[in-house]
Amino acid sequence: MKSIAIITARGGSRRIPGKNIRDFCGKPIIAYSIEAALGSGIFEKVMVSTDSREIADIAMSYGAEVPFFRSAAASDDYATTADVLAEVLESYEKEGRSFGRLCCLYPTAPFVTGDKLRRAMRELEERGADALMPVVRFGYPPQRAVVIHGGKLKYQYPEYERARSQDLEPLYHDCGQFYICETDAFRRCGSLITPGTIPFIVPEEEVQDIDTLSDWKLAEIKYRAVLEKGRM
């Protein structure tokens, strides 16, 4: 089954200007995603979907393909990731190329490696699933969350007030790094998350949302720490 890695890298970024190509520990952050996809050896195509000539030039300098630019409809603030992926697949199909699986890989995911992508793909195949999503366990049980009502604290879920943390069911959230999905399942569901999606559990030290400059600095600190441990 042929697979394609699609790195979604729109040009605009309000909170962190130039986010997708900003320097991260010595090179443009998008370079990490490109190198991971290429280094995995599991994709027939590694392409970047962008509306930016600058991003395209940098992406191609690191070995990715940019065979076409993203349309205006897929570049505005209302376009979803699914819209972008559908456009890419359709554009390739017009050229007579189709892919059985797609990997949506974010351009700000420096903790993703070729080995991680290979392991994820292998797990997907071995379990016979049609989709996979990396997840990380919440550092603190959300069941013990509190809310502020009238200036006072109350448990959001009072039934867990006296529960021991170790007795609560572990909960997870999306890592925001990559997704792998069979193309037919993606089209059928209109989403990368299908009813048959399986988890790929990632340790907390290899996950960091990057929405602000403070997040960026924290991500670099965590990246260097993981690098020192020889895990990247």
Residue 175, pLDDT score: 97
pLDDT higher than 90, residue 229? no
83 domain-assigned: yes
Helix (H) or strand (E) holding 33: helix 29-40
Q: How many domains does the chain have?
A: 1
Contacts of 122 (CB under 8 A, 6+ apart): none
pLDDT grade for 29, boundaries at 50, 70 and 90: very high
Domain region containing 107: 3-137+172-228
87 domain-assigned: yes
Q: Per-residue pLDDT tens for 164-218?
A: 999 999 999 999 999 999 999 999 999 999 999 999 999 999 999 999 999 999 9
pLDDT grade for 222, boundaries at 50, 70 and 90: very high
pLDDT higher than 80, residue 137? yes
26 domain-assigned: yes
Q: Per-residue pLDDT tens for 146-172?
A: 999 999 999 999 999 999 999 999 999
Positive or negative CA dihedral for 176, 136, 34, 29?
positive
Contacts of 232 (CB under 8 A, 6+ apart): 111, 113, 223, 226
Residue 176, pLDDT score: 96
33 domain-assigned: yes
* Residue labelled with tokens 């529960």: 163
Please give the average per-residue pLDDT across 64-83, as a whole number: 92
Residue 14, pLDDT score: 78
pLDDT higher than 90, residue 53? yes
Rounded CA-CA distance 33/107 in Å is: 6
144 domain-assigned: no
pLDDT higher than 80, residue 231? no
Residue 220, pLDDT score: 98
Burial 106-124 (b: 16+ CB within 10 A, else e): bbbbbbbbeebbeebbeeb
CATH of the domain at 46: 3.90.550.10
Rounded CA-CA distance 64/46 in Å is: 6
* Paired sense of beta strands 172-174 and 23-24, if any: unpaired
158 domain-assigned: no
